[in-house]
Amino acid sequence: MNLQCALLDVRQMGEADQLSLATGKTVVELMESAGAAVCIEIEKRWTPRPVTVLCGPGNNGGDGFVVAQRLSVAGWPVRVALLGSQQKMTGAARHHADLWLGSIEPISPSVVAGAELVVDAIFGAGLSRALDGPVVKTLAAADQQKLPIVAIDVPSGLMGDTGEAFGAVAAALTVTFFRRKPGHLLLPGKLLCGEVVVADIGIPSSLLTMISPTTFANDPSIWETQLPVLQHGGNKYTRGHALISGGYPMTGAARLSALSAARIGAGLTTVAVSPVALPIYAAALTSIIVQPMDGPQDFQRMLDERRYSAFLIGPGAGVGDETRARVLAMLRTGRPTVLDADALTVFADDPLTLDKAIVGPCVLTPHDGEFRRLFDPSGDKLTRARTAARRCGAVVILKGSDTVIASPDGRAVINSNAPPTLATAGSGDVLSGFVLGLLAQGMDPFLAASAAVWLHSAAATEFGLGLIAEDLPELLPIVLRRITEHKLY
């Protein structure tokens, strides 16, 4: 995995700080660098104006004092407010607080009166309790006055590991250091951080190999080298054959999945359908093979054919015994399988049967409702997805505007490029088709899932407003071309 995309939880960021100190850095120097980086980002975006810097009693507050001192020297009118007593501050934070020669007021709503910019340096990502008292009231006052807020590390009250918010208000800009944290990408944190800038404060990137992160921000650099590459000597058979179990009377979902699997590169795509549904599928699909299938024996004969390299079931399948039986039959083959929608819901009363049946590469694509039917819904999204993947032995795509892709081995990717236009009927069917198409071509399940999610979002962004699910496969070639054209000759 690309360590440039690593996300560090609070413990790992503390480890990075400690490892950096072992290389000769001091906390005072790191704090000075952090405050200087925040000032640089502020001065890029705003001209000098009255600013209130809200400082906490710990290292985040120490960063704030550096900001206050530097902006004051640069000619900004600066007002500083502190939670607690300066005399009780310790270490590097006390050092930088003592360098501030201006007045220090207690944090209260009055300190933001007359300000045109607020710097939130109260609490960083390590806070593990809800905000209360004057902090809540002061941040609320700044929010009500619609003052732009610059948060250091995270907006105070935002949990760095989970994205949960307990009293946090939205920042216009968040400046964090070395690497982002999961809370910058997970909801509601994603919506509260505003623009996120990762500043270099002198912590060597080489330290990441000692920390061994397992959580990453989704990015093409993670999986683009593993995308299937077209070969001059190849043909449709060498590009994989995807098989979809088509539903009836809900036929649109499987058709969307089939088109999506073909668009992302599967050499052949077949939809297996009941005879009564054959005319509907055949009339709508031209480049897709529509195979009539009359009963479980016909279906099993198809699965026994080695020409099919990956399977998908769920879109429009219906919740019933037939879908359940087909899922189990697909999984018994040990070949890559994608389970979506109804193929997940049919195991709501017996999820352990599904777990036991997963013996080969498998990707599950639940939204929150489907996830709750199969897995423990308690805890934050990242933890839930990881726990579910570990339990069932499959890659889990827990969908949403902060989609998490989790592998049974503990790795996880958080996606952050999804536009709100993806909240439209059928977009999930397109995503499952993208995953299927990549699996059919032999891509690793975790990387295929990560790539499919990112490409799905990028295609939606490319289209913009007015998006419907049918548009997504049509926009995919543009996105793929931008990523892969350097591989084609």
State what percent of residues in the chain have pLDDT above 90. 95
pLDDT at 228 > cutoff 80: yes
Contact between 80 and 101 under an 8 Å Cβ cutoff? The reply is no
**404-406: strand order across its sheet:** 6-7, 215-217, 412-414, 404-406, 395-398, 362-364, 337-339, 310-313, 241-245, 268-273, 289-292
State what percent of residues in the chain have pLDDT above 70. 99
Residue type, 239: R
Domain range list for the chain: 3-215, 220-487
Rounded distance between C-alpha atoms, residue 109 and residue 138, angstroms: 4
pLDDT given at position 486? 61
Rounded distance between C-alpha atoms, residue 287 and residue 451, angstroms: 24
pLDDT digit string, tens, across residues 51-78: 999 999 999 999 999 999 999 999 999 9
Cα-based angle 254, 258, 336 (whole degrees, multiple of 5): 95
Distance set, CA 489 to CA 173, 231, 265, 337, 486 (Å): 42, 9, 17, 32, 8
pLDDT at 139 > cutoff 50: yes
What average pLDDT does range 367-394 have in this prediction?
97
pLDDT given at position 230? 84
Residue type, 184: H
What average pLDDT does range 335-358 have in this prediction?
98
* Pairing mode of beta strands 149-152, 173-177: parallel
Q: How many residues does the chain have?
A: 489
Rounded distance between C-alpha atoms, residue 144 and residue 164, angstroms: 21
Rounded to 10°, the helix 471-484/252-263 angle is 20
pLDDT at 141 > cutoff 50: yes
Torsion angle in degrees (nearest 10) through CA of 120, 122, 124, 128: -130
Contact between 321 and 296 under an 8 Å Cβ cutoff? The reply is no
pLDDT digit string, tens, across residues 241-299: 999 999 999 999 999 999 999 999 999 999 999 999 999 999 999 999 999 998 999 99
* Pairing mode of beta strands 404-406, 395-398: antiparallel
Q: Which CATH class is domain 220-487?
A: alpha beta
pLDDT at 489 > cutoff 80: no
What are 360's two structure tokens?
């080969």
pLDDT at 34 > cutoff 80: yes
pLDDT given at position 117? 98
Closest CA to 488 of 244, 227, 104: 227
Nearby residues of 423 by Cβ (< 8 Å), 6 or more positions away: none
pLDDT at 94 > cutoff 80: yes
Rounded distance between C-alpha atoms, residue 466 and residue 452, angstroms: 22
| pLDDT class of 367 with cuts at 50, 70, 90 | very high
Residue type, 435: V
pLDDT at 484 > cutoff 90: no
Topology of domain 3-215, per CATH?
Rossmann fold (3.40.50)
What average pLDDT does range 210-217 have in this prediction?
97
Q: What is the pTM of this model?
A: 0.96
Residue type, 246: G
Contact between 353 and 383 under an 8 Å Cβ cutoff? The reply is no
pLDDT given at position 55? 98
pLDDT at 488 > cutoff 60: no
Check whether the bond before 275 is cis (ω within 30° of 0). no
| pLDDT class of 354 with cuts at 50, 70, 90 | very high
pLDDT at 394 > cutoff 80: yes
Closest CA to 364 of 300, 310, 435, 418: 435
Strand partners, 272: 245, 291
| Average pLDDT along the chain | 96
pLDDT at 333 > cutoff 90: yes
Cite the beta strand spans of 169-288 per DSSP E: 173-177, 195-199, 215-217, 241-245, 268-273
What are 20's two structure tokens?
């950096």
What average pLDDT does range 175-198 have in this prediction?
98
